[in-house]
C-alpha cells in the first residue's frame, strides 16, 4: 500500500495487519483450476452438504485477475504446465496457492513421462491438502490452515514472488 | 457363427489372411496390411460391421514386424464382434487409414500416431493429439523409457 | 521451443480470416471446458463456423504405467479413468482379466458388481446433469443432484472404503463383502435420490429456458453417430437402442428386467431425457439385484487368483506361498489377448489386454467412450451459437481421466 512502509514494524502496522488479514481470510475469491478426479470432491465441498460458504470461500472467479486463491485440483501434466504458470502469473498479489490432492502435491502414483511431479515444480505453493482425492473434511481443514497462514502475514512482509 | 466369419474372410481374401484364432471367444483375423482397405470395405458393406469400436496398436518390440494394428469392429445389426489385426513393420511404419470408412477412425488414428508413430496414409489431419508439439518420440513404444520427461517450461529448483 | 508448422492447429492461420471471421480460443482453463479441453473456434459473429478440439491436458500415461505393474495393481489406476463412475471401470478391468484367465467370479460377487456398477451409473448421470444444469445457470438443481450424489458416495464408502476411488474389485473377486445393513441403507438412499431427481425433473424438464437451450442444439444424425463410433446416451438419443448390458450381457445383467430409453432427435434435450430415465432404470436394477442377491463366497476359490484368507496364510504353507507369490508376482494369465466391453456411464467402455504370460500386462488399452464423443464434438457444435457449446459439451459428459488416460 505504500504509506505503512514508513512506519516499519510498529503498533500501527500490526493493527493494520490484523484488520487487513481478517478481511482477507474470510473472503477468499478462488480460482478453481480443476483438471481431474479431485474435481469431484471439489464439487462436493462446494455443494450444500459441506458448504464451503461457511468459511467465506464459496465464490469462484473464473478470471485469474479477480482471484486470491488458486486451487490446483488434480493432476497437472507437462502439456498443462505452461497454462498453470500463465494463470498463476496473471493473478494479482496477494495470492495464495492451494495444492489439492496428491497429484498436484507430488504427482501421486503417476510417475511417468507425462506428469509433473508436483505443481511446486512450476509455481510456489502455500498449502498442500493430501488425499487421493482428499475428503471434503480435509479440504475444509486445508482451508482453515490457509486462513491461519494468512492471519500471520504482514502487509510489510509480503514478498513479490 | 464363430467359424462363419473367419471362413468368410478366408475365402474372400485367401492370400491376405495370415492367421486366425478365437481365444476366449474373441474372433480374430490377422491380415496383411495391404489388404486392410479392401477388408474394411468388405466388413462394412457386406458383413454389416457398422461400428469401429476401437482402433489401437500394440508394440511387440524384439519381434519383427514390430507393431500390430488392432481394430475392434461391432455390428449392431447382427450383434457380433470381430477383431482385425495387421502387422506393421517398425522400419516401414505406414498403413492405410480407415477414415474413408468410419469417421470415428480420425481420432483413434491420431492417437495411434501420437503414441506409436504409425503413419496412416490418407488420414486428413494426422498430428499429435495427447502429447504436445515439440515432444520427441512416441511414449507407448516399448523402447521409450517410462520416466523420460520432456518439459515444456523449465521446472523450479 | 520450436514448433513445427505442420503440427499447428488447422484454423490457426489468421491471414485467411479477411472475410470477417475471427479465431476464438476457448480453454483449456475455461469453466465450461471442465478444465482441460481447448477448442479453437472460428466464429462469424456468434456463429461457430469451424471448431478444432484439442485434448491431452490430462494425459497421465495410464497405459504405459500399467505395463510395469501387476494386474491387481492396475485396478487403482482404473478408478481414475472415469472418476465419476469408478466401480464400472474396476468391474470392466477385472472382467477383462478374468476373461483372459478363463475364470468366473462366484455368483454373489457378480451380483455385487452389478449393484455397484449401477450405483456408479447413478453418480455419473447425477454429476452430468447437475453440472450441465449449473452451467445453464440452474444452480438449485446442482445442489439437489449433488446432495443425492453425496448420499450415494457415502453408500459406496460404506461398501468399499472410498468415496471416489474405491478400487473395489480384484481379479476373481472383491476386496470385501457388502456391509450387513446395506439393503436398508440403499432403500433409504434411493428414497432421497428419487425425491431429488423428481425435484430436478420438475425444475428442468418443462423449464422454458432450459428447454430452449438444449432442444435442437448439438444435433447429430443417427448415421453420423454410428460412423463416429458414438455409444451410450449420446448414441441412444439418436434412436439406436444399443446398450452393452442388453446386446452382449456380461455379469448377470440378463437376469434383470430393465428398459433401454432411447431418444429420437439426437439433440442435447434427448440426451438429457435419456440420462434421466436411465437413472430410474439403474435403481430398478439395483432393487432387483438386492432382492435376488445370493449368499455364498465373494471370491474365486483358487489361491492362485485371489489372496487366501489371513487365517490360512498363517496356518498353511500352500496358502503362505500363494500369498507371497500373488503379492510379489501377481496373477499370471496365459498368453493371449482379449477385449471386454462393459457399459460405462458414457457408453461402451472396453478393455483390450494383451498378456505375455508374466505377471505384468504386455499392453493394456482402454476404449474410452468419451474419446469418440469428444472426437465428434466439433461436428456437433458447428453451425450453432457459441453459447450452445456449453450445453453440448456438458451433455456429452467429457471425463478427462478416461478421455486422455
Would residue A14 count as lying in a domain?
Answer: no
Chain position carrying cell 477412425: B105
- Residues from A contacting C (CB-CB < 8 Å) are 32-37, 39-41, 43-44, 47-49, 60, 62, 74-75, 77, 79-80, 83, 87, 109-115, 132-133, 135
Residue B16: inside a domain, yes or no?
yes
Average pLDDT score over residue span C180-184: 91
Mean pLDDT, residues C147-163: 90
Residue A137 lies in a domain: yes
Q: Give me the helix-helix angle, C386-396 and C107-135, nearest 10°.
A: 170
Q: What is the pLDDT of residue C193?
A: 92
In the structure grid, which three cell numbers stand for residue C178, read together?
457388502
Give the model's pLDDT for residue B46. Answer: 86
Q: Which residue of B has its CA nearest to C347?
A: B53
What is the pLDDT at residue B133?
A: 83
* Number of domains forming the structure of chain A: 1
Long-range contacts formed by C189-193: CB under 8 A, 24+ apart: C189/C151, C189/C152, C189/C154, C189/C155, C190/C283, C190/C286, C190/C287, C192/C147, C192/C148, C192/C151, C193/C122, C193/C126, C193/C148, C193/C151, C193/C152, C193/C279, C193/C283
Q: Which residues of B touch A (CB under 8 A)?
A: 130-132, 139, 144-153, 155-157
CB contact under 8 A, A47 and C143: yes
The model's pLDDT over A36-58, given as tens digits with 9 standing for 90+, comes to 888 888 888 888 888 888 888 88
Residue C352 predicted with pLDDT over 90 = yes
Question: What residues in C contact B23, CB-CB < 8 Å?
Answer: 336-338
Position A5 in a domain = no
Cell 497437472 appears where?
A: A76
What is the number of domains present in chain B?
1
Chain A closest-CA separation from residue B116 CA (Å): 14
Q: Which of C26, C27, C35 to mutate to test the interface with A (most CBs of A within 10 A)?
A: C35
Judged against a pLDDT cut of 50, whether residue A91 lies above it is answered with: yes
The CATH code of the domain that includes A110 is 3.40.50.12280
- Does the structure show a pLDDT above 80 at C153? yes
Domains of chain C, each with CATH number or no CATH: 62-302+328-404 (1.10.645.10)
CA distances to A5, A22, A124, C179 from A155, in Å: 9, 12, 19, 54
The answer to whether residue C404 scores a pLDDT higher than 90 is no
Strands B80-88 and B28-31: parallel
Q: Is the peptide bond before A94 cis (omega within 30 degrees of 0)?
A: yes
Within 8 A of C102 by CB-CB distance, chain B residues are 24
Rounded distance between C-alpha atoms, residue A20 and residue A14, angstroms:
10
Beta bridge partners of C174: C169
Of A34, A110, A132, the CB nearest to C60: A110
pLDDT of residue B70: 92
Instruction: Find the domain containing A86 and state its range.
Output: 29-151
For residue B25, what are the domain limits?
A: 2-121
Q: Judge whether B148 lies within some domain.
A: no
Long-range contacts of C98-102 (CB under 8 A, 24+ apart): C98/C171, C98/C172, C99/B24, C99/C338, C99/C340, C100/B24, C100/C333, C100/C334, C100/C336, C100/C337, C100/C338, C100/C353, C100/C355, C101/C171, C101/C172, C101/C305, C101/C331, C101/C333, C101/C334, C102/B24, C102/C334
Centre a 10 Å sphere on the Cβ of residue C69 and count the other Cβ atoms it contains. Answer: 18
pLDDT of residue B3: 77
Average pLDDT over residues A86-91: 89
Whether residue A141 lies within 8 A of chain B, CB to CB, comes out as no
Q: Is the pLDDT of residue C11 over 80?
A: no
Confidence of residue A2 (pLDDT cuts 50, 70, 90): low
Residue C331 grid cell: 496373477
The answer as to whether B71 is a domain residue is yes
User: Is A12 domain-assigned?
Assistant: no
Return the pLDDT at C16.
Answer: 56
The answer to whether the peptide bond before residue A133 is cis (omega within 30 degrees of 0) is yes
User: Do B132 and A79 make contact, defined as CB atoms within 8 angstroms?
Assistant: yes
Taking residues B58-66, what's their average pLDDT? Answer: 87
In a domain, A82, yes or no: yes
- What interface predicted TM-score (ipTM) does this complex get? 0.92
| CATH at B41 | 3.30.460.80
Q: Is C3's pLDDT higher than 80?
A: no
Rounded Cα distance between C130 and C139, Å, is: 8
Distance from C-alpha of C149 to C-alpha of B62, rounded to nearest angstrom: 49
> Is residue A99 helix, strand or coil?
strand
- pLDDT of residue B2 exceeding 70, the answer is no
The tens digit of pLDDT for each residue in C111-125 reads 999 999 999 999 999
Contact flag C58-A112 (C-beta cutoff 8 Å): no
C24-55 per-position pLDDT tens digit: 888 787 777 776 888 888 888 888 888 888 88
Structural domain contains residue A128: yes
pLDDT of C7 reads 46
CB-CB under 8 Å, A110 with C30: no
What is the per-residue pLDDT across B88-99, written as a single tens digit (0 to 9) for each? 988 888 899 989
Residue B13 domain-assigned (yes or no): yes
Which chain C positions have a beta carbon within 8 Å of B139's beta carbon? 61, 64
Amino acid at each position: 500500500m505504500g504509506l505503512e512502509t514508513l512506519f516499519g514494524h510498529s503498533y500501527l502496522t500490526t493493527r493494520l495487519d490484523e484488520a487487513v488479514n481478517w478481511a482477507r481470510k474470510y473472503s477468499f475469491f478462488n480460482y478453481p483450476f480443476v483438471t481431474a478426479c479431485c474435481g469431484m470432491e471439489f464439487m462436493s465441498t462446494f455443494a450444500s452438504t459441506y458448504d464451503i460458504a461457511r468459511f467465506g470461500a464459496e465464490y469462484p472467479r473464473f478470471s485469474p485477475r479477480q482471484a486470491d486463491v488458486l486451487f490446483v485440483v488434480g493432476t497437472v501434466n507437462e502439456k498443462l504446465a505452461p497454462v498453470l504458470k500463465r494463470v498463476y502469473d496473471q493473478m494479482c498479489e496477494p495470492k495464495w496457492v492451494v495444492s489439492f490432492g496428491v497429484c498436484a502435491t507430488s504427482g501421486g502414483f503417476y510417475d511417468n513421462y507425462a506428469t509433473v511431479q508436483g505443481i511446486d515444480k512450476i509455481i510456489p505453493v502455500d498449502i498442500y491438502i493430501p488425499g487421493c482425492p482428499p475428503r471434503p473434511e480435509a479440504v475444509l481443514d486445508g482451508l482453515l490452515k490457509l486462513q491461519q497462514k494468512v492471519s500471520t502475514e504482514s502487509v510489510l512482509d509480503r514478498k513479490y514472488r | 457363427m464363430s467359424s462363419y466369419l473367419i471362413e468368410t474372410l478366408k475365402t474372400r481374401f485367401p492370400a491376405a489372411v495370415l492367421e486366425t484364432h478365437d481365444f476366449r471367444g474373441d474372433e480374430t483375423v490377422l491380415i496383411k496390411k495391404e489388404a486392410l482397405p479392401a477388408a474394411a470395405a468388405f466388413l462394412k458393406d457386406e458383413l454389416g460391421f457398422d461400428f469401429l469400436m476401437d482402433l489401437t496398436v500394440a508394440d511387440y518390440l524384439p519381434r519383427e514386424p514390430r507393431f500390430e494394428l488392432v481394430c475392434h469392429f461391432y455390428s449392431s445389426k447382427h450383434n457380433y464382434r470381430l477383431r482385425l489385426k495387421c502387422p506393421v513393420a517398425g522400419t516401414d511404419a505406414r498403413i492405410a487409414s480407415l477414415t474413408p470408412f468410419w469417421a470415428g477412425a480420425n481420432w483413434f488414428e491420431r492417437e495411434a500416431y501420437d503414441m506409436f508413430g504409425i503413419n496412416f496414409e490418407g488420414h486428413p489431419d494426422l498430428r499429435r493429439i495427447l502429447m504436445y508439439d515439440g515432444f520427441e518420440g512416441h511414449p507407448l513404444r516399448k523402447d521409450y523409457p517410462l520416466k523420460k520427461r520432456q518439459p515444456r517450461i523449465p521446472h523450479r529448483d | 521451443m520450436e514448433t513445427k508448422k505442420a503440427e499447428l492447429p488447422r484454423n490457426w492461420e489468421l491471414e485467411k480470416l479477411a472475410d470477417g471471421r475471427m479465431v476464438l480460443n476457448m480453454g483449456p482453463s475455461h469453466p465450461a471446458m471442465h478444465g482441460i479441453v481447448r477448442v479453437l473456434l472460428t466464429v462469424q459473429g456468434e456463429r461457430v463456423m469451424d471448431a478444432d478440439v484439442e485434448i491431452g491436458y490430462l494425459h497421465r500415461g495410464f497405459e504405459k504405467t500399467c505395463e510395469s505393474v501387476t494386474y491387481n495393481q492396475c485396478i487403482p489406476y482404473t478408478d481414475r479413468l472415469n472418476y465419476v463412475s469408478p466401480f464400472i471401470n474396476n468391474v470392466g478391468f477385472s472382467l477383462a482379466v478374468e476373461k483372459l484367465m478363463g475364470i468366473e467370479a462366484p455368483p454373489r460377487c457378480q451380483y455385487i458388481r452389478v449393484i455397484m456398477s449401477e450405483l456408479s451409473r447413478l453418480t455419473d448421470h447425477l454429476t452430468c446433469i447437475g453440472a450441465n444444469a449449473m452451467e445453464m445457470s440452474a444452480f438449485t438443481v446442482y445442489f439437489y443432484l449433488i446432495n443425492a450424489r453425496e448420499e450415494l458416495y457415502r453408500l459406496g464408502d460404506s461398501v468399499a472404503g472410498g468415496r471416489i476411488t474405491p478400487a473395489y474389485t480384484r481379479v476373481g473377486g472383491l476386496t470385501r463383502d457388502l456391509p450387513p445393513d446395506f439393503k436398508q441403507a440403499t432403500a433409504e438412499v434411493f428414497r432421497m435420490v428419487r425425491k431429488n431427481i423428481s425435484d430436478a425433473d420438475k425444475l428442468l424438464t418443462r423449464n422454458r429456458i432450459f428447454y430452449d437451450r438444449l432442444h435442437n442444439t448439438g444435433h447429430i444424425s443417427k448415421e453420423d453417430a454410428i460412423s463416429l463410433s458414438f455409444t451410450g446416451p449420446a448414441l441412444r438419443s439418436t434412436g439406436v437402442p444399443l446398450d452393452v448390458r442388453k446386446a452382449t450381457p456380461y455379469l448377470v445383467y440378463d437376469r434383470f428386467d430393465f428398459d433401454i430409453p432411447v431418444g429420437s432427435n439426437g439433440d442435447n434435450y434427448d440426451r438429457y431425457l435419456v440420462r434421466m430415465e436411465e437413472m430410474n432404470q439403474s435403481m430398478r436394477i439395483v432393487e432387483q439385484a438386492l432382492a435376488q442377491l445370493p449368499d455364498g463366497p465373494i471370491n474365486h476359490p483358487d489361491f492362485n487368483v485371489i489372496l487366501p484368507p489371513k487365517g490360512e496364510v498363517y496356518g498353511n504353507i500352500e496358502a503362505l506361498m500363494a500369498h507371497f507369490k500373488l503379492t510379489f508376482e501377481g496373477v499370471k494369465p496365459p498368453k493371449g489377448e482379449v477385449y471386454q466391453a462393459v457399459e460405462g456411464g458414457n457408453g461402451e467402455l472396453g478393455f483390450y489386454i494383451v498378456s505375455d504370460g508374466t505377471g505384468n500386462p504386455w499392453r493394456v488399452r482402454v476404449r474410452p467412450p468419451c474419446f469418440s464423443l469428444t472426437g465428434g464434438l466439433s461436428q456437433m457444435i458447428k453451425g450453432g451459437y457459441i453459447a450452445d457449446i456449453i450445453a453440448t459439451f456438458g451433455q456429452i459428459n467429457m471425463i478427462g481421466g478416461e478421455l486422455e488416460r
